[in-house]
Amino acid sequence: MIEESSSLLDKDRRRGRGAASNRASRFEPEREEVQDGWDIDEPRAMFRTEVEVERPRSVIVRNSSPDVPFDRSLNPYRGCEHGCIYCFARPTHAYLGYSPGLDFETRLIARPGAGAILDRELRRKGYSVAPIALGTNTDPYQPIERHYRVMRQVLEVLLSFKHPVTIVTKGTLIERDIDILSEMARDNLVHVGLSVTTLDDRLSRLMEPRVPRPARRLVTMQKLADAGIPVRVMIAPVVPAITDHEVEAILEAASRAGACAASWIMLRLPREVSPLFQEWLGEHYPDRAARVMARVREMHGGQDYDAEWGKRMRGEGQYAEMIAQRFEVARRRFDLAKDALSLRRDLFEVPLSQGDQMALF
């Protein structure tokens, strides 16, 4: 890991990053700082992104959670260079022995070859078709996709099988794959969820430092819609006392950009995300920090987070209900659907693999 301290890292070295520290994960509860005498003040380089390669044996991950609309997903990457400070996926980096802090943004894992493994898994006898969700943990269109092209490989496989897929992203690189996505959309095999957390450029740069600016994401939304690809705007997350006033404005902007559906999620602070987010609040919004956390705890029974199914996505109480009502009124006003259309499963067909003999009839 980059640092073994939970103290705030030098601002100049972490420019363009979301986390202010690289605090230890829950699997490493004890850390000791030792002064070795090498405390000479000298310039140090900015933190750079490092990428490791993983050769997975399988890529489809199953889940049985009752509050997510899919039972299988695939993630081309681990960690995410976008650096969103609120990202609920940060704690997953702890399983790799890395910090959910700065490591999550700078120590990335790419999974080239995922497309070939997916091809193999879809050919298994007895495979039952249902939409595969892409981008449910980390963004499949984060900057390193431009080099590794794992997402492109995966989409090519899904297209060849005529397999339904859902995509969640903040990345404008998805425009590169409009050729594949538009072809799938013609058969009702894909829909895209594009996340817009705020319309404020400055706030976006602070919260999600390496994500394309909000106006640029709306351009992407328009390009996808113009190509016949159904797009859902996702206000994810709503941040109390910081972005909550933008719910209506985001829905209006997305509607104008061609979105056909909308959804929202309340700020979630599981495990290590809470202290990291509170560090961010203290640095950028010290005047609102107490109010933000009071609202968060109010929605989770006095805790920073409650992982109970049915509650974790929205929270409970008057404030959560107020946001839900405002969203619903605005959603209807701007003629946005509550749910995306169901994708087709009946077109699934296993294509010939290399060396297979074509049927005569």
Query: Residue 107: which of 12, 208, 11, 2 has the closest Cα?
Result: 2
Query: Residue 263: which of 306, 234, 300, 226 has the closest Cα?
Result: 234
Q: Say how far apart CA 95 and CA 109 lie, in whole Å.
A: 12
Assigned token pair, 328: 């619903």
- List the chain pLDDT tens, one digit each, 361 residues: 444 445 788 887 888 898 888 887 777 765 555 455 555 555 567 889 999 999 989 999 998 787 777 889 999 999 999 999 999 999 999 989 999 999 999 999 999 999 999 999 999 999 999 999 999 889 999 999 999 999 999 999 999 999 999 999 999 999 999 999 999 999 999 999 999 999 999 999 999 999 999 999 999 999 999 999 999 999 999 999 999 999 999 999 999 999 999 999 999 999 999 999 999 999 999 999 999 999 999 999 999 998 888 788 899 999 999 999 999 999 999 999 998 789 999 999 999 876 555 544 5
- The 10s digit of each residue's pLDDT in 144-182 is 999 999 999 999 999 999 999 999 999 999 999 999 999
**343 domain residue, yes or no:** no
- For residue 58, the one-letter residue type is S
pLDDT at 4: 40
Q: Say how far apart CA 252 and CA 335 lie, in whole Å.
A: 10
pLDDT at 29: 63
CA distances from 264 to 196, 233, 281 (A): 10, 8, 22
Q: Say how far apart CA 120 and CA 117 lie, in whole Å.
A: 5
**319 domain residue, yes or no:** yes
**Inter-helix orientation angle 214-226/247-256, to 10°:** 40
pLDDT at 11: 82
Full strand arrangement of the beta sheet holding 261-266:
61-62, 72-74, 132-134, 165-169, 190-195, 231-238, 261-266
**358 domain residue, yes or no:** no
pLDDT at 27: 78
| Contact status, residue 102 vs residue 276, Cβ threshold 8 Å | no
**340 domain residue, yes or no:** no
**34 domain residue, yes or no:** no
| Contact status, residue 36 vs residue 116, Cβ threshold 8 Å | no
The parent domain of residue 230 ranges over 50-333
Beta bridge partners of 133: 73, 166
**43 domain residue, yes or no:** no
227 secondary structure, DSSP code: T
**29 domain residue, yes or no:** no
Say what the pTM is: 0.90
**281 domain residue, yes or no:** yes
**CATH number assigned to the domain comprising residue 243:** 3.80.30.30
Tally the domains of the chain.
Answer: 1
Q: How many CA atoms lie within 13 A of 51 on its CB side?
A: 14
